[in-house]
Every structure is written in C-alpha cells, then in structure tokens.
Structure 1
Amino acid sequence: MPDSGDVQAVRGTNQGDSQVRVYAVAPRENADPDEIVDGFLEAMTSDDPGFSTARKYLTKKAAGSWKPEQSITVLTTAPNREQADRNADPDNQGRAYPLSGRKIATVDARHAYQPISPAEYVQAIHVVQQPTGNGKGKEWRIDSLPPGLVLGEADFLRNYRSVNKYYFASGEDWVVADPVYIRQRQDPVTRMDPVTQTVKALLEGPTNWLKPAVDSSFPSGTELRKGVTTLTTDDQSTLKVPLNVRADRVGGEVCRRMAAQLLFTLGDLTSVRVEQVELQGSKGPLCRLGKGQATEFAAVRNTDQEENPYFVDEHGKLMMLDVAGKQAALPAEVPGPLGKDTAQLASVAVDRGETRAAGVGAGGRELFVSSITTDQEPSPSVLSSKAAKPADRLSAPSWDGRGDLWVADRDPAAPRLWMVPDGTGEPVRVNTPWLGDDARIESLRVSADGVRIALVVTRGERTTLQIGRIQRETTEAAPVVSVLDLQPAAPRMESVTAVSWAGPSRLVVVGREAGGVQQIRYLQTDGSTSATSVLPGLNGANSVAAPNTDSAPLVAYSGNDGIVRLAPGANWQPLVKTGHAPVYPG
C-alpha cells in the first residue's frame, strides 16, 4: 500500500467477461452532440451486424468511409471523451471532442496483435449538424473520427479472443504457431462464426512478422467458397471445409499438409471438437486427415512422453526430478559426465529427446555437451568465452526442436549469439544486427519449432523481454543464421528476470511492472495477455521452467525457497532446498 502522495480518482474496469454483451442503441431524436459522441463510442463495443447502429451516429459520407475491420486501437480503459474544444473548429461549423487514453496495442487487418509500451493516445471526433431525413430540421452527426475501432482493454478482451494459426517452418515438415485475434462471437462485418473466422484467417496467410520464416501449403489465392459464413462438424466430428477453385488441383502430400494446418489451428478452439477435416474443392472432396495422422507434423512429436524437469544440485551436477505424483520423489542421478560431482555446472539445458544435455561450467567460461543416457568420458568444450568476469561470460544454453544448441556470450568486448549445429558441430555466429554496444543478452529460450527465440535483453537500466524471428539460409560456404525483427513481448514490464516457453505460442515470465512487485504470469508471444494469466506470487523468483503441455507442473527457483513447483489449482510447493537452475527439456 502507498504511504505517501496525493489521492487520485481512477476509473474502474472489469476483466472483459466474454459472457457480457453490449447492444448498440440508435441515437435519439434531437440528441445533443455529447450524446452522439458517447453513443458512438458505446456502439463500437457491440456485436451489431455491420456496425449498422454505430454508423447511424455518422454522416452519410463518414459512414461509407469508416472501416471498423481495418484496425483496432487498444487502450488501458475506454477512451476518455473530453468536452468539445470550440477553438479546434475555426470555421465554427461543428464541434471537436478530444479523445484521450493510454494506448497499449494495435491489431491490424491481418488480426495481428502488436503491443507497445503504454503511450499517450490523443485523437478527436468531430460532429456537425446535417439535415434530417424529412428535411425539416437538423441533427448532430459525426463527420470525422479516428480510423478503425478504439476500445478499452476490457471491451477488447470481451469481444476478441486469441487463436493460433499454424504454418510450416520454411523448408521443414513441422508447424509453427502464429497467434491472432478473432471475434468471440459472430463477426459484425463478415457475419462469420468463430470457426469460419479462424479458417479464413489461416487462408489469408501468416502475419507480416512471421511470414519470412514460414510457408503455407495452401495455394496462393485459396479462399473459402463464396457465401460460406458457418462451418460445423458432423456427427463424426468431421469438419468439411469448402474451398474455391484455387485448391482444385492439389492432392496427395500437399493436401495432407493443408489439412494438418487446419487441424492444428482448429485444435485451439474450445467451442468445437474437430477429429477430422475434409477439404473440398469446387468439384468435390480433395482429401481427409485425422488428428492422429496430423501429429507427424507437430514441432514436439512425443507429446505422450512424460516431461521431467532437471536442475543443478548443490555439488554442481545435473539431476532429474519426478514431479508427476502428489508427493515429489527424491531427485534422481543422471548418467554421463554432467551427472558427476566433477561437472561443476552453473546452468544446463536438456534436449527435447532427453538423450543429451548441455552445461555451462561454474565459471561461465565453457560449454559442454554429453549423453545423459549412458556413461562416457567427458568431451572437450564446444564453445568458450574470453570475458574477464563470470557474469559476462556464457548464458544458460537452450535446445531447439531441430537438435541445435543456442547460447549467448555476454562478453562486453564482443557480445555474440551462437548456434551449435546438432550440439556438437562447428559453432555458427548468429547474425544479430540489433546487438550493439548498448545491448546485452541476459538469457534466452528457443521455441521447439526453431523459428522463434525469447530473449531477455538489457539496454541501459532496463531489462526487457523480446521475441526474435530465426531465419536460416544454406550457402556453399557455411550456413547463415539470423535473429531479426525483435518484438517486445512484455512492454508493460519495467524489468524482466526470467522466461520459459509454455507451449507453441505461450510464455511464462517473471518480471515487474513499473511501480509494482515481482509477478509470474503467462503471456502470448505477441505480447497479449488475459485476466487469468497472473500466477500465485513467489518471493525472490529468479528462474522459471514450464513444460510443453499442461500435464506437468511449473517449476521455479527462488532464493528464499529453493526449487518449487506449481501444480494446476494449487500453490507453490517446495521440492529441493539446495538446488538451482531448473529446466524442462528445451
């Protein structure tokens, strides 16, 4: 609780309950200009078909040019409508009403959410008098307004929900999640239900940020058959998707990949259970694919395998935890050089097949890789740092789903990001044009699909969470790997301590908002969040590890409590008092 400072009035806000619906009300006769502006702002938050009621607040010209589907501006709360500024209209032909607020994100026409650090939002709505329909009087109407929709965060979350579209990693046979926002219910503009909206968004192609690193198997120009606004499953939970003529010539493996993209995408919709999809061209069925068959295209193939967390014990050796039961079992020793007292590790990473591990030595200078299934002689280091101070040397490593190993060298004299092919190949220096003298990579985690990397980056006094896109090129000389177009994933957090992937497009983050206390919460990779994303607090947390699925608990390290776990619906429970650096495979 604050113990000093002035008392300030604040606007209350709800958490965007999707069960609440707003019904737009048309302007009453002879409404004053204040009512017109307030009524329009309220009507923007409704599900009114075509936003027809909202358009009644606009002049004929403005109603024709306003495109609510073009973009969404998200503010912390509903926009503040201030009193009309008469000086803003020198010709005295109307009234200008300033709108203000704190802008936190935008959503573009491709449904991509783009967060920003909270910034002042200043726009205006202009109203004029125009003749009534019968020509006997005049009514106030809006003739100038901000583009698209302007919504408070609560209204945005009430009307929209996040779904993952899936595309193939460029040149590969596994899919990558691409989160977007669609309407919770029927879309006012297209009149499509959520399932149809999701399929349409998939066919439109990946978001602009992800596009350079992924491919879609759908031929260019593929769309839903004209007039389709509803897609429902039959009694066999099969969804039949009618496509236009652009899809008529596909077949075989290409059609299976198209169907796999659809199955993964629809799997995120809790409102429908799809066990099989059938793609239909203009002349009939093209192919069918079931959920079981689609698993061959998953970034993590062994989804039935129990995920085990690992950690470094007080002697600096790698250990495994069994956290599946009500009472956690004692840590188990791991075979191989990294499981011996002589390992002296500071941090570790276990590959997704749980056959190998990478460890950074206690001084942070050298990176080692060895088997964790059989005993073998210690191998020479695969990479080393020349930095003078241990804190400036190698970060904790991370494996991607391809079997490549990633680590950052934090040497102030030569900051670099490295990728070690297959964990044992010749290290490749990753192209990082954004990593200059003012930036330092504190930690990193690579996604299972190998297309995205979560980076905790310090610039000056601020430590932020960034998501970078990984692009690979094969040349005759050597592979070229780049991390490009960093995007903020937690712009409202003033300081980020740790991050872990928690599924295809979700992260669990330890950080602190400006003026707030440390918190642990879930975030989408696009930086969006929800009212239920905050997890129970944990004092002094400085690392966190999440499984790929929800079947295993979160694991974290706290300087106060050691290694702890968080099972669904429970609070943090102690596991190991003296260990540190917990990780799940990845």
Structure 2
Amino acid sequence: MRRRWAAAGLVVLLAGCGGLPRSSDVVSGSRVVDDPRTGLLQVIPDGPERGAAPVDVVRGFLLAGAASQDDHAVAREFLTAAAAQTWRADASTTIVTAVPDLSLVSRTSTEAVVAVDATATATLDAGGHYVEDPPGTRVQRRLRLVLQDGQWRLADPGDGTTITGLDASRTLRPFPVYFATGGPAPQLLGDVRWFGYDGSTATRIVRALLEGASPWLAPGVVSGAPRGTHLRVGTVPVAAGTATVDLSDAAKDADPAQRLLLLAQLRASLTELPGVLEVVVTVDGAELSRAGSQGGAGAADLPRTSVPADGRLVLLGPQGLSRWDRQALQPVAGTGPGLELTGGASHPAAAPDADAYAVLTDEGRVVRVQAPGGPLEAAVSGRGTLVPPSVDRFGWVWTAPTAPGQSPLVVPVAAPETPAAVVQAPAEGLGGQLVQARVSRDGVRLLVVVRDDAGAVHVRVHGIVRDSAGRPLRLGPATADLAPGAVDVLDAAWLSGDQLVLLERDAAGRTAPVLAQVSGPSTRLPAVAGAVSVAGGPGERDVVVGTADGQLLTRSGADWIPVAPGRDPAYPG
C-alpha cells in the first residue's frame, strides 16, 4: 500500500500537470535534491538577496512556497517581521501551471505593490483536500511590500502558498486518513489528503483524523475519536520507526470499542508514512497502547477496503449475459433470452461477493435482478427510463429515474419483488438530472453524473448513510465537481480507493477515458474511437472500454486493442 501512494504522488501529478514549462526559470533561485526518506525530490530555495527589487522579492517568496521544511522558514524570510509571525502557510495551496507573471504596479520610497497573475489547475485547503479547478481559472492578486531595515519585504502576503505543478509533483504526496465504514462488516476506508512530506506530516495526518472525515464523507463513516480529542502537545514525533501520539484527556471518554477503532485508525494512517513501523498512543502522557506492524496489545485490525474476490467482468455478449476472465466469455446460467449482444438489454451489473446480477431491459425502463440461484425477474419498472444499475456489497441494487429531481432507488438482491425504496437525497438536491449512479466497492460512496438545467454535466460523489443492517437511508452532501470543464460524460466507474474512470466526450466528438480522483489530479488516457461505455477494475491497466460496434478494448501501451466481443462491460459492484 505504501508503495502505491508514493507512486501516485510522483507519477499521477506529473501526468496530471502535462504541458508545464521545463525552462530553468521554474526553479530559478532553488536547488532540487533527492530525499531518500520518501523517494521524492525536495526543493531547497534560496533566501532573499540584499537589495532585491520588489518583483524579485515576490518571485523568491513564491518559489520558496514549495519548501515546507521548518514551517516554510525560508519563505518567511521574504516577509516583514510581523507578517512572518502571522502568515498561515498551510491555510491553502494553489497549484499553477508556471511561475506567475509579476509586474510592478506602484512604488514609493517606502511601499510597493506587485501584481501576480497565473493560471491555476488545482487548490488544496488546510485539510489537504485536492480540488481541480475549471480550465482557464485565473489567479490574480496584488501584494504589498514595505521597506524593513532597508530591504523590501512582503507586508500582506495573504495566507497560503502558490506553487507550480512541477514543484507540486516534487513535494506533495497523497496520504489516506482512515475511518471505518458504517453499517455491518466495517472496513477501514482512506479519506485521501495531500501533504508535503517533512517533519510535520505525521502531525498533519493525526490532526486531520481527529478533526474528522471530509464533509461529504463524514455522514457515512465512523471515527473512534471522541468529540474534542486533540493532540496534547501539538506534534507527533517520529523516531527510530515509532510515531508517538499523545492525546488530550477527551480520549478517555472513548468506550472500549471506540478505543480499538481509534487505535486501528491511527495505526493504518501513520504506517503509510515511510519508515513508520510502530505507533504508540498515550493519553495525557500515559501509554494507552502500542500498535505496530506485527500487532500489539489492544490494537484492532479492521480490514481495509479491497477489490472483490471475483474480478471477472460482466457484460452482454453473443450468448447473453456473460462473464469474462481475460481468457474467454462464460454465459451466466439462468438469465434467460433477450440479453444477447444485439438484444434490447443494456448495462449489466454484478454483486461484489455473490452470483447476483442486475440489468436494464425494455429499452432502459425496467431493471431486472437475478438473486443467487434464482431467475431473472423485474425489480424496478413503471418509472420512465432508469440509470444503469449498480449492486453494493450489502446486497442492494441501485438505480434511479432519469427524470429531473428524482432520487436513487434501491431493492434487495435477495427479494427483488420488494417495492423499491427511495434513498433520500441531500437537502440541496443532486444538482440536476441523474445520468449515472455507481456505488463504490466499499458501499460508502455513490458516484453520480448529473446534467443541470443548462445542459452542463457534473461528476460528484456523495457519502451513503446506512442503518445497522446496511440498508441505504440517505445521501450526504456532495464533493466538488470531479470533472470541471467536461463537455459530456458518457459513462463512469470506480477503479480502486478514491480513483474513478470517466468516459468523456469533448467538443469535437472525441471520446477518451479519464482517470479522476475524489481528491487528486486527473489524467486523460488515449482516445478511443466509437467508445460508449467503460469499466474500471483495481487499477489503470484494468480499464476496459466498450464500443458502439460491440467490441471490448483494453490498453496495450498507447493503443487500445480488441479482446472480446461484447458491450456495456462492468466489474463487480
């Protein structure tokens, strides 16, 4: 797991920031060195030069923002003494395509104003949430400098930092902060945050954990940290492979089950850090437990969310509803006629952990469900056209009417004749007409594609609130738009963790899969002519595209090659 996140931090960001200038001015005034602890690069910036002009001081300050060592100590050298004390470097990070354009607006004998202009690609907030900006987003600010001891220094820098995508790829990494899924059979689910790796990273991870899950996810997950729990001494030191977490006395309010969960969360979150093998947790200085990689007294080992044991694709093939194991197509017994490649059915789905299926029939107006060992029977009908079904790990089939203002519907796989139940939408609604609704394999998140009244498409994720038996009750608030600027999204699926694959169509009609993240940058894969559907497995190489002429394609280098006849592929879930 740790290697996966390290690779994501370096490779995905580089891919997501294509087209960045590679001229030397991007790192002018800075040195870049390898950090053997992380496998990443560290930016070592220069401090201000004596006699530097206002524009040069601002440029140096912006470049130094990529170096978080010692609480951005070098960047603070470009500020006045007062501003250096109050500047909140970690309040936000704006990622821009290149070093901003700078121009001197005004200058007197004691004050100067410098204009900053750049194109932003993403923003990170204080909690490490990574949100992509719509294409063409501009960052324009005016920064005031004053003379201090004969040197120009920034008096009003504004909280946060501004760094280039190139420096972001060198210094930022994604870290999952773990919480437990709601409902039965809890699992640990990573709420991904982006931080620079330095001596404060362990502290930032624990603070994020104690502050709670992201607002959109919080209704669907559980934390073992009692309300008001915080770090007693403000930092999490790491020495000799051990991270020590000293909590305030509010942690004493945790019951035994909460305490075990909190220990599991801390262990899972902190051992993602390179070199952290053991986690010691204390409350007001008294050791609560020791949670190491080999287990420890009182440590709980909740499973982390994982891919289904049966990783075969489900699809509509020449012989009807079928599974594909990358070698051959295998028809699903008992599903009956009418599901052939040329029939009127579409968009099959398979349960993650059982031989249960759902499929759209009757030109998209009926969802039919096959319970394990049973026949394929109508489950949802009479509500107009429906979005493609999705089956969660708790045994519920999801769909929704495509009419505006409608909410998701669920029926149990074990009793498809049961009247469909409505899953309550958040108070602010879903933001438009539902086009797609896909449940994540952990059962806690719902990916939706909606079209608003103006025809624009939006991709968001909602947390799912369930009762103790796993029945879906309502949806929490949404994430930010995960595909800002997308012209159209034809299909969508989960990959693994917080990664998604979207089949986007641009203004010229070209279709291509796009790897997106709930918190993180997106990457566009090579275009696929005639693509109409997409399936996402455990990783990027498991993306399968379905074409309008009934072929399934997988990637081979930069090419897409046909591997089997079929349409509307989907992995379990």
Query: Which bin holds the TM-score, normalised by the shorter protein?
Result: 0.7 to 0.9
Counterpart secondary structure, 1:49: helix
Q: CA deviation at 1:501?
A: 0.8
Q: CA deviation at 1:213?
A: 2.9
Q: 1:319 to 1:492 in 2, by over 3 A?
A: same
Between the two proteins, the alignment pairs up a number of residues equal to: 530
| Residue 143 of structure 1: aligned partner | 155
Q: How far, CA to CA, are the matches of 1:116 and 1:80 in structure 2?
A: 19
Native 8 Å contact 1:338 1:370 kept in 2: no
| Residue 258 of structure 2: aligned partner | 254
Native 8 Å contact 1:248 1:283 kept in 2: no
Q: 1:400 to 1:92 in 2, by over 3 A?
A: farther
Q: CA deviation at 1:241?
A: 5.0
Q: How far, CA to CA, are the matches of 2:195 and 2:567 in structure 1?
A: 41
Q: How far, CA to CA, are the matches of 1:285 and 1:167 in structure 2?
A: 20
Q: 1:52 to 1:278 in 2, by over 3 A?
A: closer
Match of 1:84 among 92, 100, 104: 104
Q: How far, CA to CA, are the matches of 1:483 and 1:43 in structure 2?
A: 39
Q: 1:154 to 1:246 in 2, by over 3 A?
A: same
Q: Which runs of 5+ in 1 are unaligned?
A: 1-9, 133-137, 388-392
TM-score by length of 1: 0.79
Q: CA deviation at 1:378?
A: 4.1
Whichever residue aligns with residue 510 of structure 1, its letter is L
| Residue 58 of structure 2: aligned partner | 37
| Residue 369 of structure 1: aligned partner | 369
Please list the CA deviations of residues 14-56 of structure 1 after superposition, one character each: whole Å capped at 9, or x if unmatched: 9999744322222222222222122111221224423222222
Q: How far, CA to CA, are the matches of 1:444 and 1:164 in structure 2?
A: 24
Is residue 484 of structure 2 the alignment partner of residue 484 of structure 1? no
Please list the CA deviations of residues 252-290 of structure 1 after superposition, one character each: whole Å capped at 9, or x if unmatched: 433332232234434655x3475x755444333436476
Please list the CA deviations of residues 199-253 of structure 1 after superposition, one character each: whole Å capped at 9, or x if unmatched: 443233222332233221123344456375443576xxx8765545444575743
Whichever residue aligns with residue 358 of structure 2, its letter is A
| Residue 429 of structure 1: aligned partner | 422
Q: How far, CA to CA, are the matches of 2:203 and 2:156 in structure 1?
A: 33
Work out which structure has the larger RCO, using CA pairs closer than 8 Å and 6 or more positions apart in sequence.
Answer: 2
Q: CA deviation at 1:339?
A: 7.4
1:73-222 aligned at under 5 Å gives the runs 73-81=94-102, 83-86=103-106, 93-118=110-135, 119-130=137-148, 132=149, 138-170=150-182, 172=184, 173-183=186-196, 185-186=197-198, 191-192=199-200, 194-195=201-202, 197-222=204-229
| Residue 334 of structure 1: aligned partner | 332
Native 8 Å contact 1:251 1:286 kept in 2: no
Whichever residue aligns with residue 482 of structure 1, its letter is L
Is residue 303 of structure 2 the alignment partner of residue 311 of structure 1? no
Native 8 Å contact 1:255 1:286 kept in 2: no
Please list the CA deviations of residues 66-115 of structure 1 after superposition, one character each: whole Å capped at 9, or x if unmatched: 1102222233333221x2112xx7x8752211111223333222222233
Deviates more, 1:279-288 or 1:461-470: 279-288
1:269-418 aligned at under 5 Å gives the runs 269=273, 271-272=274-275, 274=277, 279-281=281-283, 282-286=285-289, 288=291, 296-300=302-306, 305-314=309-318, 317-323=320-326, 328=327, 330-337=328-335, 345-371=345-371, 373-374=372-373, 376-379=374-377, 381-387=378-384, 393-411=385-403, 415-418=406-409
Counterpart secondary structure, 1:488: coil
Q: 1:265 to 1:536 in 2, by over 3 A?
A: farther
Q: How far, CA to CA, are the matches of 2:153 and 2:507 in structure 1?
A: 41
| Residue 3 of structure 1: aligned partner | none
Query: CA-atom RMSD, angstroms?
Result: 3.6
Native 8 Å contact 1:492 1:513 kept in 2: no
Whichever residue aligns with residue 542 of structure 2, its letter is P
Whichever residue aligns with residue 500 of structure 1, its letter is A
Counterpart secondary structure, 1:500: strand
Counterpart secondary structure, 1:46: coil
Q: How far, CA to CA, are the matches of 1:169 and 1:503 in structure 2?
A: 16
Q: How far, CA to CA, are the matches of 1:94 and 1:240 in structure 2?
A: 46
Match of 2:88 among 46, 49, 67: 67
Q: CA deviation at 1:314?
A: 3.8
| Residue 21 of structure 2: aligned partner | 12
Native 8 Å contact 1:319 1:339 kept in 2: no
Counterpart secondary structure, 1:454: strand
Please list the CA deviations of residues 313-369 of structure 1 after superposition, one character each: whole Å capped at 9, or x if unmatched: 145x2101112xxxx2x2011122257768952121111113211111141111111
Native 8 Å contact 1:174 1:299 kept in 2: yes
Q: CA deviation at 1:521?
A: 3.1
Q: How far, CA to CA, are the matches of 2:22 and 2:532 in structure 1?
A: 31
Q: 1:453 to 1:142 in 2, by over 3 A?
A: same
Q: CA deviation at 1:519?
A: 3.1
Native 8 Å contact 2:181 2:221 kept in 1: yes
Q: How far, CA to CA, are the matches of 1:142 and 1:456 in structure 2?
A: 44
Q: 1:311 to 1:422 in 2, by over 3 A?
A: closer
Whichever residue aligns with residue 580 of structure 1, its letter is R
Counterpart secondary structure, 2:480: strand
Q: How far, CA to CA, are the matches of 2:246 and 2:79 in structure 1?
A: 37
Native 8 Å contact 1:349 1:399 kept in 2: yes
Native 8 Å contact 2:338 2:345 kept in 1: no
Q: 1:378 to 1:512 in 2, by over 3 A?
A: closer
